[in-house]
Amino acid sequence: MKAAGAVLWREADGDVEIAVVHRQRYDDWSLPKGKLDRGETIPACAAREVLEETGYSCVLGRFLKQISYTVGGDAKTVDYYAAEAVSGSFTANDEVDSLRWLPIADASSLLTYSHDRTVLAEFGRLPADLLLVLLVRHAKAGKRSEWNDDDDLRPLSDAGWKQASALRSLLPLWAPARVHTAPRVRCVDTVRGVAEDLSVDIVEEARLSEEGYWPDPDAGLVRLLEVAAQEDRAVVCSQGGVIPSVVQSLAEMGGLRLDEYPCKKGSVWVLAFTRPFGTWSTSDSPSRWPTLVSAHYLASPLPRP
């Protein structure tokens, strides 16, 4: 059984409070979570369960942890995200009869289950309000061997358009406000719908195309950090010859251990960075640059069948 949930947080007097819910059916205190509906992605499930159990709409942040345990003899996995409460209020419902907003330490003491405390500890390991980039590989395009025109113009296939449509639903869960892309038709069309929904122009990033990146990878990394350092979250669409190198280099710079760097078409890396101190520029010492502290890979934007 697959499920998803979140550590729902809000700012309170310069600190962070966590929502802990009481489920009358089990008489326990837990983090909001629930099982996936048919045709639902794990991130969408996390956001929906937060809304249903707490009454709060949320914006997802970094991936926290997957917890596995057994319920009634059946194996269950729950994927947890950080999630900021942005609107709403709690009303007792069929699942939850009480909600408490508490500092992290108090929330941990109240939680019934050790696995929830483990998830909350992971949340508390880093600042709640991190910078975030959604690094997307373009969706499926027609085969290069069957395309006789300029490869920059190779369009999405039917399967690629389905992936692009799914991304249009998936990516807003993290509330991006900007859309950047390598200047390739297949990259632009992968995120065009997201940009249209946001009513923003697409910013082309030559440094993040394969031809623009490899002559000077350091310049490509700096450009991605420049995009990340802006206040609003960003979608960045690039190519399979760039993304693994970018993620690996950023992880090594930040001391973040990743065992592999997959990059399927239509996939997303959710990259979270520390905020630079004060006004930041590329002329500053690298120690002051945004640092990658979390990298989570989503293999497909398509919902669960």
pLDDT of residue 148: 62
Q: Do both 36 and 73 map to the same domain?
A: yes
Backbone angles phi, psi at 207, to 5 degrees: -65, -15
**pLDDT digit string (tens) for 164-177?**
999 999 999 999 99
**% of the chain residues with pLDDT over 90:** 84
Q: Angle at CA 300, nearest 5°, toward 122 and 243?
A: 75
* 305 found inside a domain: no
Give the total number of structural domains in the chain.
2
* 147 found inside a domain: yes
The last residue of one of the domains, among 124, 140, 169, is 124
Q: What is the pTM of this model?
A: 0.95
| CATH number of 141's domain | 3.40.50.1240
* 303 found inside a domain: no
158 class by beta-carbon count within 10 Å (0-12 exposed, 13-18 middle, 19+ buried): exposed
Q: How far apart are CA 194 and CA 290, in angstroms?
A: 25
Q: Do both 141 and 197 map to the same domain?
A: yes
Confidence label for 296 from pLDDT (cuts 50, 70 and 90): very high
Q: Do both 138 and 266 map to the same domain?
A: yes
User: Which one is predicted more confidently, 95 or 285?
Assistant: 95
Q: Coil, strand or helix: which one is 111?
A: coil
Q: How far apart are CA 302 and CA 142, in angstroms?
A: 19
- Farthest-apart Cα atoms in the chain, separation: 65
Q: Do both 29 and 63 map to the same domain?
A: yes
Backbone angles phi, psi at 213, to 5 degrees: -80, -50
Q: How far apart are CA 133 and CA 298, in angstroms?
A: 13
Residue 292 has pLDDT above 80, yes or no: yes
Q: How far apart are CA 236 and CA 182, in angstroms?
A: 8
Beta bridge partners of 67: 78
* 98 found inside a domain: yes
The last residue of one of the domains, among 96, 124, 152, is 124
Q: Do both 55 and 150 map to the same domain?
A: no
**pLDDT digit string (tens) for 183-222?**
999 999 999 999 999 999 999 999 999 999 999 999 999 9
> What six digits make up the tokens of 65?
């942890």
**pLDDT digit string (tens) for 106-151?**
999 999 999 999 999 999 999 999 999 999 999 999 766 565 666 6
What mean pLDDT, rounded, does the chain reach?
A: 93
- Among 85-99, 194-208, 265-279, 281-295, where is mean pLDDT lowest? 281-295
Q: Do both 107 and 254 map to the same domain?
A: no
140: DSSP letter: P
Q: Coil, strand or helix: which one is 281?
A: coil
Q: How far apart are CA 279 and CA 256, in angstroms?
A: 24
The last residue of one of the domains, among 97, 124, 151, is 124
Q: How far apart are CA 199 and CA 75, in angstroms?
A: 43
Q: Do both 177 and 265 map to the same domain?
A: yes
Q: Do both 153 and 281 map to the same domain?
A: yes
**% of the chain residues with pLDDT over 70:** 94
Q: Under a CB-based contact definition with an 8 Å cutoff, are residues 223 and 289 in contact? A: no
> What six digits make up the tokens of 37?
């509906």
* 33 found inside a domain: yes
pLDDT of residue 149: 65
What residue ranges in 72-199 does DSSP mark as E strands? 74-88, 96-103, 131-137, 178-181
Q: Do both 80 and 223 map to the same domain?
A: no
Q: Do both 215 and 86 map to the same domain?
A: no
> What six digits make up the tokens of 56?
């709060």
Q: Report, as an integer, the average pLDDT of 280-305.
A: 83
Q: Do both 88 and 191 map to the same domain?
A: no
User: Beta strands 234-238 and 131-137: pairing type?
Assistant: parallel
| CATH number of 118's domain | 3.90.79.10
* 190 found inside a domain: yes
> What six digits make up the tokens of 228?
């990340």
Q: Report, as an integer, the average pLDDT of 271-297.
A: 84
Q: Report, as an integer, the average pLDDT of 2-18.
A: 96
Q: How far apart are CA 125 and CA 293, in angstroms?
A: 10
156: DSSP letter: B
* 304 found inside a domain: no
Residue 277 has pLDDT above 90, yes or no: no
Residue 114 identity (one-letter amino acid) = S
Q: How far apart are CA 166 and CA 161, in angstroms?
A: 9
Q: Which domain holds residue 77?
A: 2-124
- Is the Cα torsion angle 73, 77, 82, 84 positive or negative in sign? negative
**Stretch (H or E) spanning 46:** helix 42-54
* 223 found inside a domain: yes
Q: Under a CB-based contact definition with an 8 Å cutoff, are residues 83 and 60 in contact? A: yes
Q: Do both 120 and 135 map to the same domain?
A: no
pLDDT of residue 101: 98
Q: Under a CB-based contact definition with an 8 Å cutoff, are residues 219 and 118 in contact? A: no
